[in-house]
Amino acid sequence: MKSIISSLFALSLLSLSSAHIQCHFPAIFNFGDSNSDTGGLSAAFGQAGPPHGSSFFGSPAGRYCDGRLVIDFIAESIGLPYLSAFLDSVGSNFSHGANFATAGSPIRALNSTLRQSGFSPFSLDVQFVQFSNFHNRSQTVRSRGGIYTTLMPEANSFSQALYTFDIGQNDLTAAYFANKTVEQIGTVDIPEIISQFKNAVTNIYNQGGRYFWIHNTGPIGCLAYVIEWFPLKASDFDSHGCASPLNNLAQQFNHALKQAVIELRTFLSEAAITYLDVYSAKHELFVHAQGHGFKRSLVSCCGHGGKYNFNKHIWCGKKVTVKGKEIYIGKPCDEPGKAVVWDGVHFTQAANKFIFDKIVTGLSMACHRH
């Protein structure tokens, strides 16, 4: 009996010591939508113009935000430069990873164009194909030597890298746009979407990826574009002004995603998979904005008109010419740092920093199997 207790004590000490070993990730490979797009959609379909980027970069930087995204804060925390978009061929350095996310991307491919639906054609399966090609071709290019060795990741970076995911929001809104009920989406669409997500993670694992960082989706029912675009009744709103049916849908998706992570941990025996409850962090910010130093919660910082300073026909940065002079219609607020929502769809840099601070402790454990 004594020897068993001693062995258990030794094992517990071993687990405690391993938990304090700091993770080192030489690269990040990111997959997602606008919540983590650092220039993909801009490179493919035209640059996001001012005032995007105005709070930090001083000019547009491919992000639909006034500054940094959560993925930028993750890179900073790990000690890596900000990620270049895979689709951006101008001035990109991929030695520390690449970003395959594009704004509007779903997990499941949609049978429509960007102009028809507003959703990106770069669904998660396409992003995986891009990653797979990059994985192979980057090493061929790196073998040429010279400057290429400084622009492409080392071969072992792929097995040591952190693979980050923030995607799923657009699948839910696309299904809702298609006039499907919350019940239909929950029972039919979500299982299929989650299945495709699991396939993507498994495919990356089969290519050597071992460390996965997975965000769940946020309370989409608190975003102005959802509230304004969807036919909602007064009874659909909760006491904080958010649309309950959409938030419930997001929570259904998150429950299924969490179960998928549990299954993946079983099947992918060498993987360390971290599931991040971003929903709770974002919901906390909407519900208790003032308590966290914010003045605006549901009302957009940059936009035009209406209850939420959002108009789907007049986006943030929209300009018109009056008497030969260009003026903003969709203009930013005076204090972006006090607003939660940037443009009715995306979060401000200040909100992204708040969200990051809620999840950052997970980075020290992201290289350890749970």
DSSP labels for 227-282?
Answer: HHHS---GGGB-TTS-BHHHHHHHHHHHHHHHHHHHHHHHHSTT-EEEEE-HHHHH
Spatial separation of the C-alpha atoms in residues 19 and 288, rounded to whole Å: 33
Spatial separation of the C-alpha atoms in residues 163 and 28, rounded to whole Å: 6
Spatial separation of the C-alpha atoms in residues 224 and 166, rounded to whole Å: 20
Spatial separation of the C-alpha atoms in residues 59 and 53, rounded to whole Å: 5
Amino acid, res. 91: G
Which parts of the chain have pLDDT scores under 70? 1-21, 113-117
Q: What tokens appear for 87 in the block?
A: 């689709």
Domain positions in the chain are: 25-288+347-365
| Top-tier CATH class for 25-288+347-365 | alpha beta
Q: Residue 12: its pLDDT value, please?
A: 34
CB distance 210 to 23 below 8 Å: no
Q: Which residue in this structure is represented by tokens 């290519």?
A: 207
Q: Where are the beta strands (DSSP E) in the chain?
A: 28-32, 97-99, 162-166, 211-215, 272-276, 319-322, 325-328
- Global pTM reads 0.92
DSSP 78: H
Q: What tokens appear for 41 in the block?
A: 């959609």
Spatial separation of the C-alpha atoms in residues 189 and 187, rounded to whole Å: 6
Give me the active site residues, please: 34, 343, 346
Q: Residue 359: its pLDDT value, please?
A: 97
CB atoms closer than 10 angstroms to residue 337: 18
